[in-house]
Each structure stands twice: as C-alpha cells, then as structure tokens.
Structure 1
C-alpha cells in the first residue's frame, strides 16, 4: 500500500509551460510586439525586468505590471499559447492509477485550467483555483487545508508538487511533504532545495521521486 494517498499538482510551470502567454500579455500591455529574442528571454526569466521594460518606453512600472497581469489572467485567447511540458500528461496518468490527484492553480478563471487539462489529455480531476499574483503563493495554504479536510487524510499522506518556493512554504506550514520543480526558473533551485523534501528539473522524474520519498 502506498505511503501517500494524495498528490497535489500545481499547473503553471509545473505541468504547463505558460511562458509564451507571459510574453503575449506583456506585448499587449506594451501595445506592440517584441521582436528582439534577447529582450524576450530577459522578460521570460525576469532578468532585470524593470530595466528592460523601461528601455521599451514604459514609465510607470507598477501600472504596467498591473495591465500585463490582467492580460495574462483574463485574455482568454492567450491561454491557447500554453503547452504541456514533455511527458507531463503521461506522468499524471500514471500517478492517477495509484493516487488521488488534485490540481491547484493561481488562475482566477478555473475553466482555463480545465481547458488546458482537457486539450492536453490530462486526467480530469478536481481543480482548486484562487488568483495568485507574484509573491502570493501563501494563499495556497487555504487550498491545501480544504483538500486535507475533504480527503480526511493525515498530512504525512499528502505530497504537494510545485515550482515556486512560496508553494513549498505554504505546504510546509501544514506539514506536507513537498517536491519542487525547477524546469524553467533554475535560479529557484537553491531556495527550493532548502525548503522541499525533493527537487527535480524534469516532471518525468516525478513518479521515481515520489517512490523515493515513500521509502524514507
């Protein structure tokens, strides 16, 4: 019998590559396309974001970020740019045979998450969503509490998987086991390693990593 009963999977940047949506949202906020690949890369990976945006003619960075976030979360057509990471749906299907799967997301519109899951052949399981802006991963504590209450499981029987240090901190506040995924933001790896029980760079390593945790 498995040690874990429930696996909580973050969607964006854990299962889903949403970086193209991020670029498109920023372009809409700018009112123009970004042709320079180096600038796109800096924007995607947050390398000197404020300076880069100023160089593109933005004067009010705070207002610009607010506009870009609105496009990122609420322009439904932009979600068509989301792509699953290689092997993600197959891995979740494999895990779904053995564990109860829940998805969590910072998207304010749940249907965008469901659409992504359906389109890319993920198992359709319950999605918990709450709008989470940068730096607000702590809001996931409530989601984790709700899942624990619904499943009536001990915290030791649940593992949370996500890409942000804040995701792991939220899970650890409740005593959950955590697995960090740093497929995109490699700069988070050291932070994740300090917080998480395990850290991986490829979601295809997840089943093996879960078994390693169960063996501890």
Structure 2
C-alpha cells in the first residue's frame, strides 16, 4: 500500500508516507502507483489538486485533511481526523468512502461552488482581509459578509434575474434552479458580456477567457468519509 501526502508532511509509525508540495505535482509522474492520496488544505487546494488528477486512469482514494480556512468539501463528507484514517490503514482496514461529484466550467474544474454574484464579491473582500491576525480562520469571511450584507440584500434579487449573473452551490441540490441560482448541474450554458471574466470557484477567484460558459458534470472521485 502506497500513500502520498500533498502539501504537508504527515507521519505515522505504522506507515510509510511519501510527501510532495502541491506546486511540484505536475513533475510527479507515478501518481497512479498510489492507493491513497492525502490532500492537506482547504477547498481551493483540493480543487487545484483534483484538477490535475481527476483524469487518471487509476484514481486513488483521496483523504482530506482540512487545514484551510474554508473546508466545505470536508464537511460534506464528514471527513474523519487524519490520525483515525491512518490508524485504520496501518491495521489494514479499508476506510469507508463516498463519491464526490466533479464539475467543469469550460476548462476549469470545480467541486461545489461557482459564480459571479455575491459569492465573487464575498471571496474578493475576504481575500483582501487575509493579512495579520485575520490571515487564518473564518473571521475574515464573517467580516466580509457583514460589510457586504446591505449590498447583497439590494442586489441579489436583480442578479437572480440577470442573464449574465449566476451562482452554483451543489450542496443545495434540492433547489434545482431558482432564477440564476443552480443547486443542480446537468448542462448549463451562459453567455457573458466580456471576453475575460472573474469568477469564484470553490472559494478561489479565477479569470476565465471567453464570453460563453459551458458548465457540465465531470465524473467523480472517491473520498474517505466517516
């Protein structure tokens, strides 16, 4: 059994765990030899790692070690503590897994969230506040929400009616569609006004080239759960 940890050195007395930084992942050509891959970080890190690995012929099982400020994917799957998972593997016990569904927006991968509505404004302001004692933790997101609340209350109804605004949040898939809010992704096509567009993907801000957005499902990966 081979285990790789991405982004942080993880040790266990009963296991040998290889380690690489996320930035060196493109140079690591034997990923398919690993049975388990530990992703250390928040949703943005998970998204960037899976973007590079989700097309492998042999998909490893992913273990989430939520050390970032935003850990929605880990909460969705009730990710167990990393020590518990490693203890099970050391005893040759297979941990329980769930499928996590992936989505594509043009060439970009996302895991649960995409949009250019209040989510984009919220993440932009939150990242602006990422310094000093606000650098870690949830407080910057809470402050950004408080600062933007009046704007959101006024603008959200108009954005929900706009053809060039959208927000996808798949944990609320029981709300299939409400205006330009989508809780479920099948095939969504959106035409924007500009060639270069700033969008929020899983708490990351990315720039997408092209007026036409084509959003669709992109398979799934196994994630360790409780």
Q: Same fold (TM over 0.5)?
A: no
TM range (shorter): under 0.3
**Which protein is richer in helix relative to its size?**
1
Larger Rg: 2
- Normalized per residue, the structure richer in strand is 2
Under a length normalisation based on structure 2, what TM-score does the superposition of the two structures give?
0.27
The normalised TM-score by structure 1 is 0.28
